[in-house]
Structure 1
Amino acid sequence: METKTKIHYKYCIVPLCTNTTVTAPDKHFFTVPKQKKIRDKWCKIMNRKEFLSEKSVRYCCEDHFDVDNDTQNFMRHRIAGGRLLLKKDVIPHKFACQKTKVVTQERSAVAKRRRAEYYEKVLSKEVPASVAQKPIEFIECVQSDEVIKDPDSPIFVPMDCFDVDVEASVKIKTKKKGTQVHIMGKKKIKDVKQNSGRKILNLQAMKYSKATTLIDFETRGLMPPVFTPLNDDLTINYAAIPGYAKYMAEAGFKCVLVGGTTGEHMSLNVADRKKVIEEWVKAGRSTGLHIQVQVGGAPLPDVQELAAFCQKNGVGSILTLPELYFKPSNVDELVSYVALVAGAAPKLPVLYYHIPSMTRVEINMPAFVTEASKKIPNFAGIKFTSNDLSEASQVLRAMSEKKALFLGADTLLAPAALLGIKSSIGTSFNLFPKIAHAILSAVQNKDVETARALQHKLCLAIESLTKEGPWVPVMKAGMEIVTGIRVGPPSLPQKPLSSEAIERIRGRLRVLDVA
């Protein structure tokens, strides 16, 4: 069976500009208009000798514009994120990269030699850290071909996609009709050919057992953290998971978090955690749910073992707490810890679980996500469990659009959405999914009054529960009252609610008409 290798990135078409989404991940790349007259005008102003086909998709980076004044939604982009839009009739007008050089049409032989040198540099082991750390999607493959039609597009093959023990050598052959690059390794051959205006990437007899396959993390929206169903004797009720997963899918959710605070995995041994993960992955396959797993809250070797287990067994993404005993005291120490966890599952998106009320790890999160994005190839975002929306909005601005911010504050769902934070992980979504979905819909429709009223109702429902005890015990009791799904008592050392407390909760929820 053949599987194609996909390499996705953008590059700037301005001659002498070297920016790509690999080498300059924080820059914005604007799509070149497809209308012929406008394309020709862009090519002429940027001193591009070869004009572009109307069918191709090409990009020009932000360096060639005055982004503040040339875009129609700059302030909104800074506050809430999203795609930047150029104003009508704006064309590139800044070409600092060309000031010291004259753009000339290269002779064929020179172009061939330049491409050969480029391939040799890219395919050498001395790949710049900025390139090696950039998430690029590679899919494990055997005997596959991928034709890249763009004759100007460079092919990036970072060396970290090879097995760590490979000693590759590069041989370059220049022929009359093209340049051929051979990379020889232990039972591995890569050919990169250029011929008749096409580059062909042939992969033969390859299998990357330790390849770094990075997957774009596109999961957004509401993600309920699921309870771990327990029997009365505190053994895990695995039989309840399939029905629970079906309930989540029917409630309109696309993803769930397994093993978070709500899931109590910090109180379970590694073997039990693995079994719960397996059951949720199995349920996810039948319901279409993306399964995210929180692997932290244990000694580092166990955390790494769980991360590797998740990668091997079909989990979609992982979340990790910080070290809970030898706590990190600064950004570098926290990044180092998360990197150790992420390294155990290099093919999975990894998010950090910020919950200072429980961990007492109080580190500047905007600074952390900035450094983590630079140093951890598969860092995909953060779960921000704090009521500090000011810091949360700073985190949102500090991360690229490809990184995710999930708020972990159920009572702030509406105000966070108004700030552009529209992804959340909240226990109450298990109990009141319709209210949570309706809040986001109201914000999306700019119906602030409805959003405020619904948020007020959700807050009252949550307060009717939390009056009776700690978070997990009251939420487990509420889950059974509202949905009828049996999730059982909390795990030790937490204690279940009394029957009197459960009845008081039931009465309050009936008054609110949510039970």
Structure 2
Amino acid sequence: MTTQKLSGLIAATYTPLDDQGHLNLSMIGPMVEHLFRVGIDGVYVCGSTGEGMSLSSEERRTVAEAYVQEIDKRVPVIIQVGHNSSREARQLAAHAQQIGADVISATCPSYYGINELSDLIDCMAEIAAGAPDLPFYYYHIPALTGSRIDVVEFLKRGCEEIPNLVGLKYTDTKLHEFQMCMETDQQRFDVVWGCDEMLLGALATGAQAAIGSTYNVAAPLYRRIIDAMNAGDQVEARRLQLCSITMVRVMSKYPFHTAMKAVLGMLGLPMGPCRPPQGRLALAEVEQLRAELTQIGFFDWCGTKTLESVPHTAET
């Protein structure tokens, strides 16, 4: 098992659907090539962004395999396998290892909340054991799972029961906790940041890698933030991070991932609607979103040419 730490910008990829909400695998190739053009350093498949929890297990296997094939070992592919059934999650993990994924990650079950650290460790141990040859990252996203387990303690005790536990996908806003996770056990663990609009703070805290949704549409902006930080230009880094914050605020006026799919359509990558309950934006909402993004200069700094218009089809 490789234990090389993740680095750079990792796009939490979207799952392309057709107008009827079925998988549209033909768009995965163009999406992957777009991500390479904008400088992505890895992909995170079937997570919150990829609607993993809204897909059947068979669909998740299909999407995972398609991304692994299209990436073709050019950058790391991380497959999110979390499920309310830990047995099902273990099977998804085994499949990820079988198809040649580089890393697995998993949320905790959320319908029946996990309130005890030992229960979380047992659950993650079962899942991670499905792919013993792959590094395992626990996906900490308390806003969606409801889990309030201390993740620092999870790392300290979890490594005793989960041999392939190497780190976290940390999707929360507590920089102090994020820093403590990185420092745990003499910096043993790879802790990857997961809040795009706070990337600058995470970089200042020591982040070396980040996984995010908006890296699909604005990776050049985030690369400039990283470059400014590396150059010691904090004023420029703050200015650029403010662009990210403004962009996220605009998109958050709508169902976020529905809006993101609409933006991908504007950029020539029709990814279809989201699965219910997220759905799709109405045409008027798409045009309003386009106008708001134009007003803040998004199409000037996102690094991708926009289409002349958005078709009245699934790509909106």
User: One fold, TM greater than 0.5?
Assistant: yes
Distance in 2, Cα, partners of 1:358 & 1:276: 22
Larger relative contact order (Cα-Cα within 8 Å, sequence gap ≥ 6):
2
Q: Does the Cα contact within 8 Å between 2:87 and 2:127 map onto a contact in 1?
A: no
Which residue identity does 1:268 align to in structure 2?
A: L
Does structure 1 residue 387 correspond to structure 2 residue 179?
no
Distance in 2, Cα, partners of 1:504 & 1:216: 45
Measured against aligned partners, the alpha-carbon deviations of 1:48-83 in whole angstroms (never above 9, x if no partner) come to: xxxxxxxxxxxxxxxxxxxxxxxxxxxxxxxxxxxx
Does structure 1 residue 240 correspond to structure 2 residue 27?
yes
Q: Does the Cα contact within 8 Å between 1:217 and 1:380 map onto a contact in 2?
A: no
Structure 1 counterpart SS, 2:44 = strand
Structure 2 counterpart SS, 1:430 = helix
Measured against aligned partners, the alpha-carbon deviations of 1:374-417 in whole angstroms (never above 9, x if no partner) come to: 33110011011111111111111115545211111111000110
Give the TM-score normalised by structure 2.
0.91
Equivalent of residue 7 in structure 2, options 195, 220, 224: 220
Measured against aligned partners, the alpha-carbon deviations of 1:242-296 in whole angstroms (never above 9, x if no partner) come to: 11111111211121000000000111111111111111110011x7121101001
Q: Does the Cα contact within 8 Å between 2:106 and 2:138 map onto a contact in 1?
A: yes
Distance in 2, Cα, partners of 1:322 & 1:400: 26
Give the TM-score normalised by structure 1.
0.57
Mark the CA change 1:254 to 1:493 in structure 2 (over 3 Å): closer, same or farther: same
Q: Does the Cα contact within 8 Å between 2:251 and 2:289 map onto a contact in 1?
A: yes
Q: Does the Cα contact within 8 Å between 1:349 and 1:378 map onto a contact in 2?
A: yes
Equivalent of residue 53 in structure 2, options 254, 260, 266: 266
Stretches of structure 2 that go unaligned for 5 or more consecutive residues are 300-316
Aligned to 2:124: 338
Stretches of structure 1 that go unaligned for 5 or more consecutive residues are 1-213
Q: Does the Cα contact within 8 Å between 1:217 and 1:402 map onto a contact in 2?
A: no
Distance in 2, Cα, partners of 1:217 & 1:328: 30
Q: Does the Cα contact within 8 Å between 2:84 and 2:111 map onto a contact in 1?
A: no
Aligned to 2:287: 503
Does structure 1 residue 410 correspond to structure 2 residue 196?
yes
Q: Does the Cα contact within 8 Å between 1:296 and 1:322 map onto a contact in 2?
A: yes
Measured against aligned partners, the alpha-carbon deviations of 1:206-249 in whole angstroms (never above 9, x if no partner) come to: xxxxxxxx221332221110000000010111011111111111
Equivalent of residue 458 in structure 1, options 244, 249, 268: 244
Distance in 1, Cα, partners of 2:158 & 2:6: 19
Q: How does 1:52-451 map to 2 (within 5 A)?
A: 214-285=1-72, 288-451=74-237
Give me the CA root mean square deviation. Answer: 1.3
Structure 2 counterpart SS, 1:507 = helix
Aligned to 2:303: none
Aligned to 1:184: none
Q: Does the Cα contact within 8 Å between 2:10 and 2:43 map onto a contact in 1?
A: yes
Aligned to 2:311: none
Aligned to 1:512: 296
Distance in 2, Cα, partners of 1:439 & 1:373: 33
Distance in 1, Cα, partners of 2:104 & 2:280: 29
Distance in 2, Cα, partners of 1:332 & 1:317: 24
Aligned to 1:104: none
Aligned length: 299
Question: Per-residue deviation at 1:440?
Answer: 1.1
Rg comparison, structure with higher value: 1
Q: Does the Cα contact within 8 Å between 2:200 and 2:237 map onto a contact in 1?
A: yes
Which residue identity does 1:230 align to in structure 2?
A: L
Equivalent of residue 487 in structure 1, options 266, 271, 296: 271
Measured against aligned partners, the alpha-carbon deviations of 1:88-146 in whole angstroms (never above 9, x if no partner) come to: xxxxxxxxxxxxxxxxxxxxxxxxxxxxxxxxxxxxxxxxxxxxxxxxxxxxxxxxxxx
Higher helix share: 2
Give the 4+ runs in structure 1 shifted more than 3 A: 399-402
Identity of aligned residues (%): 28
Mark the CA change 1:504 to 1:266 in structure 2 (over 3 Å): closer, same or farther: same
Distance in 2, Cα, partners of 1:379 & 1:431: 31
Q: Does the Cα contact within 8 Å between 1:249 and 1:288 map onto a contact in 2?
A: no
Measured against aligned partners, the alpha-carbon deviations of 1:437-456 in whole angstroms (never above 9, x if no partner) come to: 11111111111101100000
